[in-house]
Structure 1
């Protein structure tokens, strides 16, 4: 059987570089890795973008998603038949009709509240950032100071429309085996929400005492989980 390509999809507020330490570990172990960049202007457009991107790849695929990207890979229209398994890394796992915004408010504890956000206009809409002085507390509390500052300065913002998007039809995790890395010190997506979604999806659960930035802070745990999904 061909070795699967490991596709790592970033979420809101960080770009594909959030996977850099995971990517290095996977590549050093001999796995082919690719990390696309989502536009994050509209949920439906992100779904279409990912599917078109996956169509450019050959052979079996394992798709891992961080944060908001879990919504995208849960949409059945985002994936191709070559996808064999899914990994949700501190990520949303919605069912049909559910939105990221609603799921994030289902349990208390998220620091992604209006007082902690900055909204800026761009041609065609508005985009959301975390306040730089709140980035560490909300997103990357256990990262070192240099990483926190770099992440806060280089945020990839999202249009609020992305968090209100949903899909029809059964979520992809009904048909594919899935793993879920749950952060127990997450101040972005509440830990209770992550556990609830993972248990509902029947995902194999891996818990780690980390912030939302778990791909950067605990890359070994994430890489090992992706490899297990690829096996």
Structure 2
């Protein structure tokens, strides 16, 4: 009887081990991270369509987050909540103001393995998007903004004037597409651009950067400065690339994201 019981226990142990092996992933090296794309001001989740198409070909799960564009702290908390809900490693990718959002969102998240800045802000603690824009010459954004839209809470929403949007934001995007982007742009709360950033995640999480020399929103010199300060693992500079780099150069952007994901 004792031998019979020992045999049953041994069989049960083997069965449980086999079941656990089947349920577990093949190994961390085989698990592709989920890519979370965070758009910036005057854009929307659809601005990542081209990048999504490239990444999905390579088997990545991609989520284009809806960035509220209300405040660095609030938007960062929304992206952090999304990242926490993902089972497995995550790469956070931010465009423009979305760079400030991922810089805040990734703090304390153990599953975020890399940050990718696409024509984006990578602020240090206490810096705002406006601080960094004005740190170097080259931004022509302020004169292209329309009259602020007054909000019920006393705040203001900012838009780029539609007729000035193609040249200012997306000079290397086909004109018809740039006009559609102008019509569907998401406004940003003016206060969000003035909000000081918290302690930056790029001090503890490796980062990558890509920007264009033709960017009229964020001075290229500012993005070079931020990439160097964050000790970017790789910085790609696209000649004459506009601020809408993820739209005009999706293959280059996706390639850098894949490199960060494989790190």
TM-score, with length taken from structure 1: 0.95
1:121 touches 1:127 (CA, 8 Å); kept in 2?
Answer: yes
CA deviation map 1:81-106 (0-9, x unaligned): 10001100000011001000110011
Distance 2:47 2:108 in 1: 22
With over 3 angstroms needed to count, the CA separation of the structure-2 counterparts of 1:76 and 1:96, relative to structure 1, is farther
Counterpart in 2 of 1:112?
A: 141
- Structure 1: runs of 5 or more not aligned: none
Counterpart in 2 of 1:214?
A: 245
The yes-or-no answer on 1:3 pairing with 2:9 is: no
Larger-gyration structure (1/2): 2
- CA drift of 1:112 comes to 1.4
CA deviation map 1:3-32 (0-9, x unaligned): 100111100000111100000110112111
- CA drift of 1:122 comes to 3.2
With over 3 angstroms needed to count, the CA separation of the structure-2 counterparts of 1:83 and 1:48, relative to structure 1, is same
Q: Which has the higher contact order (CA 8 A, sep 6+)?
A: 1
Q: Structure 2 residue aligned with 1:185, among 184, 189, 214?
A: 214
RMSD: 1.2
Counterpart in 2 of 1:150?
A: 180
Distance 1:185 1:88 in 2: 16
Q: Structure 1 residue aligned with 2:132, among 98, 103, 109?
A: 103
- CA drift of 1:123 comes to 3.1
Counterpart in 1 of 2:82?
A: 53
The size of the alignment, in residue pairs, is 229
1:69 touches 1:92 (CA, 8 Å); kept in 2?
Answer: yes
TM-score, with length taken from structure 2: 0.84
Deviates more, 1:21-30 or 1:69-78: 69-78
1:48 touches 1:78 (CA, 8 Å); kept in 2?
Answer: no
1:97 touches 1:167 (CA, 8 Å); kept in 2?
Answer: yes
Matches within 5 A, 1:188-207: 188-203=217-232, 204-207=234-237
Counterpart in 2 of 1:94?
A: 123
Distance 2:127 2:192 in 1: 12
